[in-house]
Chains A and B, each alone.
Chain A
Amino acid sequence: MVGVEGVKMVENILMIPRIVINDIKNFKPSESYLVAYKPSKKEHARRAGKVKRVSTILFDENNIELCDEEQVEVMKRGSAALELLLRPLLDSNTLPKYLFMMRRCLELAYKEGIDILISSGARSLDELWPPGTIWALGSMIGFRGIASNWIEVLRRWRPGLHL
């Protein structure tokens, strides 16, 4: 059992509270929650990239275009990790473009040494992606270790977790 408030162990699964923020005005680092910021505008994405002690900056099919060289350069100076959702890959219409953009974003982030995280972004049970699939996707696009990067982010967020 990890003895940090808000973090629970349920049947060997570490449960960590997390919030996704869409509005830059509400965006501030928290010690109780992992904070993911989903930018909708370029200037907001750049601003969020510089903020320290932020967990992740989240990209999905609506804002993946914002993940470019400039964004990665900005994020290099901050502490946020890059989070990419896999939910758009379930839709055959969005898959080709999203996979292409995702790969490009991953390559840029990897080159600059930014932590890359992959998550399901599931809104229902059938949108979940099992770890084996994330591993297969990582192997397919040339990023094998992406499934285990969460631990690094959690360590940075809460050193007290002793992960």
Chain B
Amino acid sequence: METWLAFIIAVIIAVISLIISTTSIYMVVKLKGVIYRKKIIEAEISGKSMHRERIKRYVVFRVVRIDDSPSFEELESCLKETVKESLGLLGFSETSIKLIRYRIESGIGILRIVSSDIYPAIFSISRLRRCSGKRIVISPLKITGTVKGAYKKVSIYESKYK
């Protein structure tokens, strides 16, 4: 066989094997993605989250005063204390809660929670019944993903609970 012909055949074989290997790698990656997405969907349907990412959520709440209202600083420290008591130090460090806004007149406030599971944090803040000697009940009203959305809800609730 001619040398040039052998060279061309070798090049063609090399190109074909390259195409086959690239295609198979592409298919494997694609298939893996499909399987992973399917697993996430199945997990979401069954209520379990595959991602344990910490997500930021804003909880719009209302402080129902039974006698007197706590101040912003008092409420923030009470909320942190109650979460610390309920979830423990590690749970508290994971939630990194912050009181964004609270108006004494309406009792409506916004609390930021950064957590992989916000419900235990919401439940623990709802257990708060006494803050600096003042009897209160905290009622969670809405959970939003953005602070802008939370402020929108606040304006609606403030007109409602004036």
Q: Which residues of A contact B (CB under 8 A)?
A: 89-90, 92, 125-133, 135-137, 139-140, 142
Contact = CB atoms under 8 A, between A and B. Distances in A.
B127 A90 contact: yes
Counting chain B residues whose Cβ lies within 8 A of the other chain, the interface size class is 20 to 34
B106 interface: no
Given A125-B66, A126-B129, A133 B119 contact: no
B66 A92 contact: no
A151 to B, nearest CB: 21
Interface stretch (B13-21, B27-35, B137-145): B137-145
Interface of B: 47, 61, 64, 66, 85, 117, 119-120, 122-123, 126-127, 129-130, 135-141
Given A92-B85, A139-B119, A133 B66 contact: no
B123 A137 contact: yes
Given A90-B129, A125-B66, A142-B47, A130 B123 contact: no
Given A125-B66, A126-B66, A136 B126 contact: yes
A139 to B, nearest CB: 5
A90 B135 CA distance: 13
B140 A132 contact: yes
23 contacts: A90-B129, A92-B85, A125-B137, A126-B66, A127-B129, A128-B137, A130-B137, A130-B140, A132-B61, A132-B126, A132-B141, A133-B122, A133-B123, A133-B126, A136-B123, A136-B126, A136-B140, A137-B119, A137-B123, A140-B117, A140-B119, A140-B123, A142-B47
